[in-house]
């Protein structure tokens, strides 16, 4: 089984329990949708012995039990599905769009970033000011407008439980790119909105981290005790394929929403949508505008 053709995926064994499949080396919505299309088909046909199916940004991974599913049979099946899926240009899937309020330049990430200035590329600026400058914006507000303007796709969920990696649904030329910290921090507040490389993220729990920190959301996205209404069925809010719109808020609104969290009343605004890659590519801005109309309709 060779992979001479430029669009064909690269298969590699993660020892005897994992098959890793890289759709492309570089990030793109095309690579992501090919991975999602294969994963969707595999879930439908799920043979016995498949334990975990993990879609990621431009790759996916299957964990399997080789005692019940022979490795060569799994590889043959995945290659067969890959051929059926092709370039997945017309891939359509049912998902949802969700609104995540963000207090940009908040005091908690500010306190944290000041503690770790010695690990940053630009110790004299905040993470927001630095990101604005290297992406060609006049000031932090310009960067915030771009960050919160177009929606993002949760192209991978993981690192720690429930953490979404987010890829903004704009052309390559408009992608926001920021390097990770020179050396990772040992601390990041829970619910920090971060960015590294071309990926945004929301830290689901407090912990180490290397992404630049732009703000914080008041709404929990992970609830191990399952006390909040959004978590009655499951501990993580995000699933791969979710579409996210960041909504800038001020301190007053932040405090209101935290009050709702403490009273156990908060729920994240979300609406079901169907996403089609071909229609998106025909008019990305128009398509995004229609998605946001769905989100805001009552």
Binding site for another protein (CB under 8 A): 12-18, 20, 22, 24-28, 51-61, 63, 66-67, 71, 156-163, 165, 167, 172, 179-180, 196-199, 204-205, 207, 222, 224, 235-236, 238-240
Query: Which SS3 state, helix, strand or coil, does residue 194 take?
Result: strand
Cβ proximity to another protein, 51 vs 282, nearer residue: 51
Cβ proximity to another protein, 16 vs 80, nearer residue: 16
Which pair of tokens denotes residue 146?
């771009």
Beta carbon of residue 28, minimum distance to another protein (angstroms, whole number) = 7
Cβ proximity to another protein, 67 vs 262, nearer residue: 67
Residue 102 backbone zone (phi > 0: left; psi -120 to 50: alpha; other: beta) = beta
Beta carbon of residue 284, minimum distance to another protein (angstroms, whole number) = 17
Beta carbon of residue 36, minimum distance to another protein (angstroms, whole number) = 12
Residue identified by tokens 């996916």 is: 60
Which ranges in 46-189 belong to alpha helices (H)?
71-85, 107-115, 127-134, 140-149
Cβ proximity to another protein, 198 vs 216, nearer residue: 198
Q: Are 52 and 32 in contact (CB under 8 A)?
A: no
Cβ proximity to another protein, 230 vs 279, nearer residue: 230
Beta carbon of residue 250, minimum distance to another protein (angstroms, whole number) = 30
Beta carbon of residue 270, minimum distance to another protein (angstroms, whole number) = 16
The CA–CA distances, whole Å, from 281 to 33, 70, 139, 171 equal: 12, 39, 30, 9
Which ranges in 218-265 belong to alpha helices (H)?
251-262
């Amino acid at each position: 089984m060779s992979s001479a053709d430029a669009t064909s995926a690269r298969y590699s064994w993660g020892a005897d329990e994992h098959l890793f499949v890289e759709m492309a080396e570089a990030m793109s919505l095309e690579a992501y949708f090919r991975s999602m299309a294969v994963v969707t088909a595999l879930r439908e046909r799920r043979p016995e012995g498949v334990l975990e199916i993990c879609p990621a940004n431009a790759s996916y991974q299957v964990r399997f039990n080789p005692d019940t599913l022979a490795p060569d049979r799994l590889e043959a099946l995945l290659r067969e599905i890959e051929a059926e899926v092709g370039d997945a240009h017309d891939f359509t899937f049912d998902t949802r769009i969700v609104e995540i309020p963000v207090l940009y330049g908040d005091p908690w990430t500010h306190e944290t970033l000041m503690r770790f200035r010695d690990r940053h590329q630009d110790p004299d600026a905040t993470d927001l000011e630095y990101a604005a400058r290297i992406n060609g914006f006049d000031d932090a507000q310009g960067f915030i407008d771009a960050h919160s303007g177009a929606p993002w796709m949760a192209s991978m969920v993981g690192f720690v439980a429930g953490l979404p990696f987010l890829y903004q649904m704009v052309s390559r030329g408009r992608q926001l790119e920021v390097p990770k910290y020179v050396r990772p921090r040992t601390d990041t507040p829970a619910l920090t909105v971060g960015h590294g490389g071309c990926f945004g993220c929301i830290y689901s729990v407090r912990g180490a981290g290397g992404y630049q920190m732009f703000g914080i959301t008041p709404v929990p996205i992970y609830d191990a005790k399952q006390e909040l209404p959004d978590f009655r069925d499951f501990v993580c809010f995000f699933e791969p394929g979710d579409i996210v719109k960041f909504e800038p808020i001020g301190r007053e609104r932040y405090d209101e929403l935290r009050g709702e969290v403490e009273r156990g009343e908060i729920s994240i605004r979300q609406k079901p949508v169907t996403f089609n890659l071909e229609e998106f590519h025909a008019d990305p801005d128009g398509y995004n505008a229609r998605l946001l109309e769905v989100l805001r309709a009552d």
